[in-house]
């Protein structure tokens, strides 16, 4: 029941935060960015790994091309100066790309905010609104143990970004995962 209340609260917050956005904004979920036949990470009990997918996660939802969408996820800075972030990867779970295997490209969105976004921590939950473009793009991510090149399947440029309390379709890491400390506290 608490999860349901959190989703209702998030929906209300998101609708208020985009009051100035076009009526044509589509509220999408991570599942909308992958083929319906692709396994969901939660079904497998662990995050999807591109190498294990027949298409390596490179099949994109071209039906969403140029649609104004809103998607909630976790922001992982790619280009930042202090707490101002100029570009980030939006991912479906905490720890993705830097602490765990990288999600498939169709589960990563490269976001360039319309204005630098003030971020207090990596994997901060945010909602992104803007025109979605299916577009394979490589980004260099600087992590503690070196540089990693991440392939994203989508881009949103000139995005409006707002902080949110929860991500409705987030994946909770299995209890036996060494990265369970990354699970965000549930309301």
Cβ atoms of 48 and 103 within 8 Å: the answer is yes
User: Burial, 37: exposed, middle or buried (Cβ in 10 Å; 0-12, 13-18, 19+)?
Assistant: exposed
Cβ atoms of 74 and 123 within 8 Å: the answer is yes
pLDDT per 10-residue tile (average), the chain, 187 residues: 45 45 80 75 52 70 92 94 95 73 88 96 93 93 76 96 89 53 48
Report the helix count and the strand count for the chain, using DSSP H and E: 2, 7
The pLDDT value given to residue 57:
73
């Amino acid at each position: 029941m608490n999860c349901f209340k959190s989703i209702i609260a998030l929906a209300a917050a998101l609708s208020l935060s985009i009051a100035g956005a076009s009526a044509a904004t589509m509220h999408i979920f991570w599942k909308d960015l992958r083929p319906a036949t692709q396994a969901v990470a939660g079904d497998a009990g662990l995050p999807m790994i591109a190498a294990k997918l027949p298409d390596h996660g490179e099949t994109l939802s071209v039906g969403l091309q140029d649609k104004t969408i809103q998607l909630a996820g976790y922001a992982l800075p790619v280009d930042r100066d202090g707490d101002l972030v100029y570009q980030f990867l939006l991912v479906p779970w905490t720890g993705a790309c830097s602490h765990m295997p990288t999600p498939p490209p169709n589960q990563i969105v490269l976001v360039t905010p319309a204005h630098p976004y003030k971020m207090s921590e990596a994997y901060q939950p945010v909602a992104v609104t803007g025109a979605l473009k299916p577009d394979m793009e490589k980004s260099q991510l600087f992590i503690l143990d070196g540089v990693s090149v991440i392939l994203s399947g989508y881009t949103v440029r000139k995005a409006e970004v707002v902080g949110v309390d929860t991500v409705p379709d987030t994946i909770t890491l299995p209890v036996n995962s060494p990265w369970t400390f990354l699970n965000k506290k549930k309301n």
